[in-house]
Amino acid sequence: MPNYTTDEDLELLAELGIDIAPKPSGQRSAREERIIAGFEEIERFVEEQGRLPQHGEDCDIFERLYAVRLDRLRESEECRAVLEPLDSRRLLDAETDLGAIAKNDLTDEALLASLGVDAASENDVSQLTHVRSRSEIKAAEEIAQRTPCQDFDEFKPIFEKVQLQLQSGERKSVKYQDYAAVNEDDLFILDGHKVMVVHMGEPFVSDYGRQDCRLRVVYDNGTESDLLVRSLQRALNKDKASRRITTPDFGPLFADVEAADDLPTGYLYVLRSKSEHPFIVENQSIIHKIGVTGGNVKNRIANAKKDPTYLLADVEIVATYLLPNMNRKKLEAILHKFFASVRLDVELQDRFGMAVQPREWFLVPLEAIGEAIAKIQEETIDRFRYDRETGMIAMLDLVRSEDFSP
């Protein structure tokens, strides 16, 4: 792009109504994120191989793909505008080392077709798709350089407080499970440093059809980076000592025991309905849904209004519990069985006029749910029952450990 430096140039541009002010950082579109992610894979190749990707029949198919992509990036004014501020190696201006490729060699269009790319969309670098080998998947990690965090004074007290909470037991560190969910405000230990996800950008679909998004991640050593979600997940997977730091509200339900059959981290959640159904409105304070999920609870309930499971209405999260090393479905079954006598018996009409009878809602006070979870944690739930008359948990006359043992 031209570099306008004189006052005369700026005045002329202003008279023409041309705004040359740079776009504010952190406001990239999903298309721009795809362009950057594709370019970062080329940077990865250059860093590992020490040269530009090349065309040619004797080159690896993925190297040829990167070469084609780099050509398209160089040709596109839109892509250059997005990438030039990030192009520290000046790859967009470097001369491609084409070797001794003859004029009759495979054309770019034919190469794109061989890679499964529609030639009609050859100028859209965000639409390149192909099937990668396992080694390529492992190698093609996005690059994100750590830079000094200019507002670290805002985060330093948070890291110091987290350290004190870890020492007191208010927070715990649990084994990071492969590709477990990453959410805003999550805390991890990576390469010996505490890591905080302070912002998540808009999600986008990568060249390979997978959802991703850009993160702002701050480290306890005063640095930060803007890596992708999948890059952070790969880094956490690669570091065998990586840990997830729990929050005081999401304390681990069971002991932090690492075993070969550890299950992915999940959450047990308790919801309260905002339904306008007369019975639900009258008893809202004691009607709760008890469920589990392996992902983000907020994402799970995003479309509650359209889902009979959530009484076709918005819901409120009233409690959540982190579940490391625990069979989520088994835990859910234990709680549902424990409160079976007070399961909500209500029939609703869905948007198609069909009768729906949700099965995960119970007429039980929140305090009783918390007490039942504590009994499971203590492995004593088999000694108690829920008394629907008093709304309290009471001792069993006969102990039947086979009924509720975790």
Give the pLDDT score at 95: 57
Determine the pLDDT at residue 13: 58
Residue 335 gets the label, from left (phi > 0), alpha (psi -120 to 50) or beta, of alpha
Sheet holding 193-200, edge to edge: 147-148, 223-225, 215-219, 193-200, 187-190, 243-245, 173-175
Q: Three-state DSSP class for 245?
A: strand
pLDDT for 134: 39
**Which stretches of 167-265 are assigned E, i.e. beta strand?**
173-175, 187-190, 193-200, 204-205, 211-212, 215-219, 223-225, 243-245
pLDDT in tens, 330-343: 888 899 999 999 99
pLDDT of residue 245: 87
Question: In the 8-state DSSP scheme, what is residue 228?
Answer: B
**Do residues 373 and 253 lie in contact, with contact meaning Cβ atoms separated by under 8 Å?**
yes
State the amino acid at position 359 in one-letter form.
R
Q: What is the pLDDT of residues 258-285, one digit of tens each?
A: 444 444 567 889 999 998 888 888 888 8
Q: What is the pLDDT of residue 177?
A: 67
SS3 192: coil
Rounded (5°) CA angle 172-189-26 = 120
Q: Looking at residue 351, what is its pLDDT?
A: 67
Residue 76: the pLDDT is 85
201 sits in which H/E element: none
pLDDT of 218 over the 80 cut: yes
Contacts of 110 (CB under 8 A, 6+ apart): none
Quick one: average pLDDT of 160-177? Answer: 82
At residue 253 the predicted structure's pLDDT band, cuts being 50, 70 and 90, is: low
Residue written as tokens 């729990």?
Answer: 246
Cα-only R_g, the chain: 27
Cα of first residue to Cα of last residue in the chain, in angstroms, is 64
* Distance (Å, whole) CA 329 – CA 319: 18
pLDDT at residue 216 in the model: 92
Residue percentage of the chain with pLDDT more than 90: 15
Residue 301 has pLDDT above 60, yes or no: yes
Average pLDDT estimate for 95-119:
45
219 vs 130, more confident: 219
